[in-house]
Amino acid sequence: MSARKKTLLKVIVLGDLGVGKTSLMQQFVNKKFSHQYKATIGADFLTKDLTIDNKTVSLQIWDTAGQERFQSLGVAFYRGADCCVLCYDVTNEKSLNNLSSWKDEFLVQSNVSNPQDFPFIIIGNKIDVDESKKIPSLQKKLLNITNNQLGGLNYPLFETSAKDSINVETAFENVARMALQQEELNGASRNDMNDDYHDAINIHLENDNSGCAC
Amino acid sequence: MQQDTKLKLLQVPAHQRTESDASHSYSVLDYYDSETILISEVGSDENLEPFVNLQPKSGEMFVPLLGTQNTSRVTNMDMRDSNESQMDTSMITNVSLGDASTITRNSRRSLPSLNSLIDPNIPPCIQPLTELRLKQNLDDKFDIYGFKKDSSLFTSTVESHNEWFSEYIPHLLTQKKKWLVLMKAHGLASRSDAPLPLRYPPKSEKVKKLVRRGIPPEWRGNAWFFYAGGYEKLNKNIGVYEKIVADTAGMQNKDTEVIERDLHRTFPDNKYFKPELVEGVAADSNKEAPMISALRRVLTAFAQFKPQIGYCQSLNFLVGLLLLFMSEERAFWMLVIITERIIPQVHSANLEGVHTDQGVLMICIHEYIPKLWSIIGKSFDGTVLKDDKILTRPPPLTLVTSAWFMSMFVGILPIESVLRIWDIIFYEGSKALFRLSLTICRLCMDHPNFAGSTRDSRNMEEQETDRIEIFQFIQNFPKSITDPSLLINLCFKKIGGYGFGFLSQDEINRCREFVAQQRSRLRTKKGSIAGQLSDSERASLQGSAKMDDEIHDVYGFQRSIMSGVAWNMHISSVMKKKLGKRPE
């Protein structure tokens, strides 16, 4: 550990409750799926090392609680994020419609310097379910959401199954790649300071006002 | 508990309580012993005989329910434990009579239709545990509460569970014997094969010790209900639960949507919540497990009954566990008691109670485990949190500890540890949550794998790694605490333990009040918190000017933050006595 030169990348996973955030993270990090996951309360994270373009990175993935009121517990750990994963459930239209709120919430709380081109990706989970249970005309709705609206969510999209381990790996490799880019961008913008360790886990709980504005 | 129960009132005047003076400082909930207690028993309407297995001590008075039933609006008790203790019994007794009988009769009349909504036929999950049954359980895939023994969450296997459980069986049997002796001494239950007792001995040092060593599993539901003040609550709200269930049947709204998502992931590893876990039981998508239906009804009814809370994730764990030990109506009222008295506002829409309790917990860590505070009192990037910022910039650890409070350790600790802690909480009050949380924190810190304790951090990056590891360690470590006795002994033993028993409910209450006050001040003034004391604060300052200086001296809090609040005078004196010097 002493010569830790690998880059730490911080990723935040957001989305409505029950879309499978914990399962996605568990499948990616621990290669397992369990029906036993309980609702996430507060926040939790797992780390996983992987190699991206010959560079070893350590992905710190933050799993969050999906119920709205848990936002008040402090979302300060959003700060310093290098990538944000927005999740929905392909069987739950509401979770799809809420994606843009999650994005806005993240941008407000994380206070990122480049909200216009901050890396988000979208994951639609639970594609293993029966076709009949999926959101009707999902593709059309997706197109609406990603392209048409003002401030649309024109981000890379992956459809996954955490249960059957479909596409999860691919999705998170992309997450890592995008996060790495963002991290390098951040690093370049403060070239005078040799503190590349700084942002990945900056958890300033500085938002006194917002923190209490419950 | 059957719905057509016979209800009787047992009134024990406060002055006839038998517990020692000492128990007062330990147990705020003692108070409930002095209040009207309602005993339920199967019987006919006309049968108003005193409760049969009660041997009243001289002077105790039995009053039939329908004559003196209290129906005053004392129901909305949004107050903390301390307020409870100040509540005058006259509030309870000095009320107009008459309503109760109407309510009771009405509720009985409407029972037939309601019975179709509430499922009274859920068999009791926990069988009386004879030695034979306990030993037979070693051959079972499920523990005595119906949870799968092998669990990925708690990294336990059938073998590891059995290894622990076979050592635990003698403890369970000894406890049962001791409880039987105690019950007999109070004329409550004399034989091991007697029906489950509904009433338990009044609070005393002796009972408290026995509770800390564990209530017999099959008695838990009744004992929790009894000691937490369940009868008193039920008594004031006869028929209310059934009515809410009737009103909310089939209801669909924002809360029920979330409830539906949580029902099946509450205890997916418990055979009562997921019958198809049992071999040979086919999953039937058309037929829902009765426990799931009961869970839905209780959570939906609660969301309706407490709109300021609605449904909050983690309530499902509380209700789920309660349902394994009691009827759904009782589980409902226990949830009301938990959210009103034990952890008030913790589940409210803004989770204000979480902020309050985490503030209190962090202050306690700061005071009582200063070494740990020096490690965790930093943000992940290493910024040291100044003492006066404890409440406004809670350290990242609170993301972990919040869940301890919200779910009262369900899913955090292995089930037996949770149940043993619940025994203590329902008997002693919310201070037990703080005491046990401190014990777990301390246990983490003393663990050889605890990053911060073994290494002198060499550079910034390693320090940062340490901080992340510490977060994860404290997140995961509790899952490995399979031996509840170890945890509880560490908590209370002064020698060979951490002795957190000195942390009184009174102190917790004052600290909660302090934190809540500061937070509301911060909210309203957004930073400009200096100066401006309220009248009561000024008065209390004048009354304790000397002490006030001392507090600031000892803790170095900003004067403006600490102004006029002397909640921790006790901490101060305790710490001085304990350490013989000022804590750093």
- ipTM computed for the complex: 0.82
Contact B399 A43 (CB under 8 A): yes
Contact A38 B350 (CB under 8 A): no
Would you identify the CATH topology of the domain B352-502? Cyclin A; domain 1 (1.10.472)
Percent of chain B residues topping a pLDDT of 90: 51
φ and ψ of B478, to 5 deg:
-55, -30
Q: What is the pLDDT of residue A152?
A: 73
pLDDT digits (tens, 9 = 90+) for A125-168: 999 999 899 998 888 888 877 775 556 788 999 999 999 999 99
Q: B390 falls in which pLDDT band (50, 70, 90)?
A: confident
Residue numbers in B near A212 (CB within 8 A): 355, 392, 519, 522-523
Q: What is the pLDDT of residue B121?
A: 53
Q: What is the pLDDT of residue B267?
A: 93
| Strand ranges across the sheet with A55-64 | A43-52, A55-64, A7-15, A83-89, A120-125, A157-159
Does residue B350 sit at the A interface (CB-CB below 8 Å)? yes
Residue B22: pLDDT over 90: no
Contact A39 B475 (CB under 8 A): no
Contact A4 B406 (CB under 8 A): no
Interface of B with A in 125-164 (CB under 8 A): 151-153
Contact B354 A73 (CB under 8 A): yes
Compute, in degrees rounded to 10, the torsion defined by CA atoms B258, B260, B263, B264: -120
The A-side interface with B (CB below 8 A) comprises 1-2, 4, 17-18, 32, 34-39, 41-45, 47, 60, 65-67, 69-70, 72-74, 76-77, 80, 197-198, 201-206, 208-209, 211-214
φ and ψ of B310, to 5 deg:
65, -135
Residue numbers in B near A67 (CB within 8 A): 258, 312-313
Residue numbers in B near A213 (CB within 8 A): 523
User: How many angstroms away from the CA of B18 is the closest CA of chain A?
Assistant: 42
Q: What is the pLDDT of residue A165?
A: 96
Contact B381 A203 (CB under 8 A): yes
Q: Which among B312, B399, B460 is the nearest to A67, CB-wise? A: B312
Compute, in degrees rounded to 10, the torsion defined by CA atoms B498, B503, B504, B508: -140
Residue in chain A nearest B150 by alpha carbon: A36
pLDDT greater at residue B487 or residue B97 = B487
User: A206 lies in a domain?
Assistant: no
Distance CA A150, CA B482 (A): 54
Q: What is the pLDDT of residue B539?
A: 45
Q: Which among B380, B392, B400 is the nearest to A203, CB-wise? A: B380
Q: B558 falls in which pLDDT band (50, 70, 90)?
A: very low
Number of H helices, E strands in chain A: 6, 6
Most confident of A175-189, B37-51, B150-164, B389-403: B150-164
Tally of domains in chain A? 1
Q: What is the pLDDT of residue B458?
A: 61
pLDDT digits (tens, 9 = 90+) for A77-117: 888 899 999 999 999 999 999 998 999 999 988 888 888 88
Ramachandran category for residue B533: left, alpha or beta (phi over 0 → left; psi -120 to 50 → alpha): beta
pLDDT greater at residue B104 or residue B337 = B337
Residue in chain B nearest A36 by alpha carbon: B268
Q: What is the pLDDT of residue B57?
A: 37
Residue B493: pLDDT over 50: yes
Q: What is the pLDDT of residue B466?
A: 77
Q: What is the pLDDT of residue B284?
A: 76
**Per-residue pLDDT averaged across B317-327, rounded?**
96
Q: What is the pLDDT of residue B236?
A: 96
**Per-residue pLDDT averaged across B223-233, rounded?**
97
Does residue B317 sit at the A interface (CB-CB below 8 Å)? yes
User: How many angstroms away from the CA of B339 is the closest CA of chain A?
Assistant: 16
Does residue B403 sit at the A interface (CB-CB below 8 Å)? yes
Output DSSP code: residue B413.
Answer: B
DSSP per-residue string spanning B186-251: TTS---TTSPPPS--PPP-HHHHHHHHT---GGGHHHHHHHHTTHHHHHHHTTTHHHHHHHHHTT-
Residue range of the domain that includes A147: 7-198
Does residue B400 sit at the A interface (CB-CB below 8 Å)? yes
Alpha helices in B477-568 (DSSP H): 484-492, 505-525, 535-543, 545-555, 559-562
φ and ψ of A63, to 5 deg:
-95, 135
Domain ranges of chain B: 131-223, 352-502
CA distances in angstroms from B321 to B267, B416, B461, listed in the order given: 9, 12, 43
Q: Which two tokens stand for residue B534?
A: 């309220």
Residue in chain B nearest A6 by alpha carbon: B461
Q: What is the pLDDT of residue A144?
A: 79
User: How many angstroms away from the CA of A116 is the closest CA of chain B?
Assistant: 26
Q: What is the pLDDT of residue B309?
A: 96
Q: Domain of A183: which CATH number?
A: 3.40.50.300
**Per-residue pLDDT averaged across B73-95, rounded?**
36
Q: B118 falls in which pLDDT band (50, 70, 90)?
A: low
**Per-residue pLDDT averaged across B552-573, rounded?**
38
Lowest pLDDT segment from A75-84, B13-22, B286-295, B308-317: B13-22
Q: Which among B265, B392, B527 is the nearest to A38, CB-wise? A: B265
Contact A212 B406 (CB under 8 A): no
DSSP per-residue string spanning A146-211: IIISTT-----EEE-BTTTTBSHHHHHHHHHHHHHHHHHHHHHHTTTS--TTTGGG------HHHH
Residue B470: pLDDT over 50: yes
pLDDT greater at residue B530 or residue B187 = B187
pLDDT greater at residue B301 or residue A142 = B301
Q: How far is CA B288 from the centre of its chain?
A: 29
User: A34 lies in a domain?
Assistant: yes
Which sign does the torsion angle of CA B96, B98, B99, B104 carry? positive
Does residue B268 sit at the A interface (CB-CB below 8 Å)? yes
User: How many angstroms away from the CA of A42 is the closest CA of chain B?
Assistant: 5
Q: Which among B153, B266, B380 is the nearest to A202, CB-wise? A: B380
Percent of chain A residues topping a pLDDT of 70: 82
Q: What is the pLDDT of residue B555?
A: 31
Contact A212 B395 (CB under 8 A): no
Q: What is the pLDDT of residue B429?
A: 96
CA distances in angstroms from A177 to A170, A189, B252, listed in the order given: 11, 19, 42
Q: What is the pLDDT of residue B54?
A: 37
Instruction: Tell me the average pLDDT of chain A.
Output: 82
Q: Strand pairing partners for A213?
A: none
User: A204 lies in a domain?
Assistant: no
**Per-residue pLDDT averaged across A26-37, rounded?**
87
pLDDT greater at residue B419 or residue B81 = B419
φ and ψ of B390, to 5 deg:
-50, -40
DSSP per-residue string spanning B86-115: HS-HHHHHSS--SHHHHHHHHHHHTHHHHH
User: How many angstroms away from the CA of B428 is the closest CA of chain A?
Assistant: 26
Q: What is the pLDDT of residue B100?
A: 36
Q: A175 falls in which pLDDT band (50, 70, 90)?
A: very high
Percent of chain A residues topping a pLDDT of 90: 47
pLDDT digits (tens, 9 = 90+) for B154-166: 889 999 999 999 9
Q: What is the pLDDT of residue B75?
A: 33
